[in-house]
Amino acid sequence: MPRPVPSKPTACLALADGTLFYGRGFGATGQTVAELCFNTAMTGYQEIMTDPSYAGQIVTFTFPHIGNVGVNPDDDETMDPVASGMVVKWDPTEPSNWRSAETLEAWLARRGRIAIGGVDTRRLTRAIRQQGAPHVALEHNPDGVFDIEALVAAARGFAGLEGMDLAKDVTCAQSYRWDEMRWAWPEGYTRQKDAKHKVVAIDYGAKRNILRCLASAGCDVTVLPATATADEVMLHDPDGLFLSNGPGDPAATGSYAVPMIQDVLNRSEMPVFGICLGHQMLALALGAKTVKMNHGHHGANHPVKDLETGKVEITSMNHGFAVDAQSLPGGVIETHRSLFDGSNCGIRVADRPVYSVQYHPEASPGPQDSFYLFERFAAAMQARAS
C-alpha cells in the first residue's frame, strides 16, 4: 500500500537495488523509468535535455546551479526534450539572463518531463560510477505519497538500453533540407546561401547544432531518416555522407544502418564523416565491435588525444557504448583516444577520406576545440571534386 514519507518530499528516485533518494519534485508530475547517468557540464542543461542521444536516460547534473539562466527557443537541439528526466542538487532559482524566455520548471512541466531537486548528487554520482549506470524509477507526486515497493519494482522492470534500437524513435519522419548556420553575434542564426558541397546527413538523432556546423562549413545538407537505404542516399548524388549522433545500442541500430553504410562505401569513393552513434555505425560497418560502458562519458570536459598529431582536445561527450579498439580490422586506424580511460574516440580508413569521432565537435554545450573536423570534411569533398 502507498505510504506517506516523513517531511513530505514531493519526489522520489528509486534505484533497482532498492536505494532511495527523496527530494522536491518540479516540472511534470507522474512517473518515468530509465537508465540513470551523470553529466559534468557546467553549462548547457537545455541542450543536454533536448539532445536525442539521451533517449531512455535520466540525467544527474553534477553542477549544482541548474536553471539559473532559464530556457529559450534558440537553444533547443530538437523540438522537445528527449531525456526522460533530470536530477539536481539545488532547486532552480529565478533565471537571470537576457536570453531567458521561460523558467526551467515551467518548461519541463509544459514539455512533460519530471525533475527532482534537493538530491545529494555527489553520493548519487559515486553510486553510478561504482555500480554502473543503474536502472531507476522517478516519481513526482505533489501529495508526497509514494508506493515504494511498486517504484523499486518499476526500476527493476526496466529492460535497459542494451539491445534497444532508439534511433527509430528519435529520427525524422521524412527527409528535409537544412541551411541554418551557427549562431553568431549580433545576427543570431543566419542561412547558408553559398553552399559548395552536397551532403546527405543520416539522422540517428541529429542535434540541430551539428547540422548548423555542416551548413557553416559550406554544406548543402539533406537530412534522411535513420532507415534510409543506400539507393535513397545515392539518389541525391551527394558529395559526402554524414552519420549523426543518436541513442541506444549501436548493435541494434546497426541491423539496418550497417548494410546501408557498407553499400555506400562499396559504390562510392565519397568522403564519410561520423559522430557519436555515427562513429559506432561506421566502425561496425568496417568490421569492428562495440561494447557497453560501465557508466559512459557524459560531459563537456573530456580530454581526447589525437594519436596522429599528439594534440589534446577538450571535448563534449555523450555516449554509453564505445568502439572496441582491439576489434578494429586491418586498414582501419585508431586516430583518437580518451585520456580519462583510454577508450576509443576516433577512427579512419587508411586509404580513403572516411573517418569518425566518438565525441561531439559541434560543442553544444562545450568547448569548440574540434570544429575543425567539419572543415576537414568539407576539404575532403573539395579535394575529391578537384
Peptide bond into 247 cis (omega under 30): no
d(CA 197, CA 199): 6
Identified catalytic residue from 47, 105, 313, 362: 362
| Annotation marks residue 308 as catalytic | no
Question: Would you state the cell numbers that stand for residue 68, as one nine-digit string?
Answer: 539559473
Identified catalytic residue from 47, 276, 295, 313: 276
d(CA 130, CA 117): 22
| Annotation marks residue 172 as catalytic | no
The number of C-alpha atoms within 13 Å of 326 and in the hemisphere containing its C-beta is 2
d(CA 237, CA 217): 19
- DSSP secondary structure code for residue 180 in this structure: B
| Annotation marks residue 276 as catalytic | yes
Peptide bond into 186 cis (omega under 30): yes
d(CA 319, CA 346): 13
CA distances to 49, 268, 333 from 351, in Å = 38, 14, 10
CB 125 within 8 A of CB 13: no
Identified catalytic residue from 140, 295, 319, 360: 360
CA distances to 22, 26, 183, 251 from 283, in Å = 42, 41, 32, 11
Residues 6+ apart with CB under 8 A from 165: 248, 249, 252, 253, 255
So which residues are the catalytic ones?
A: 276, 360, 362
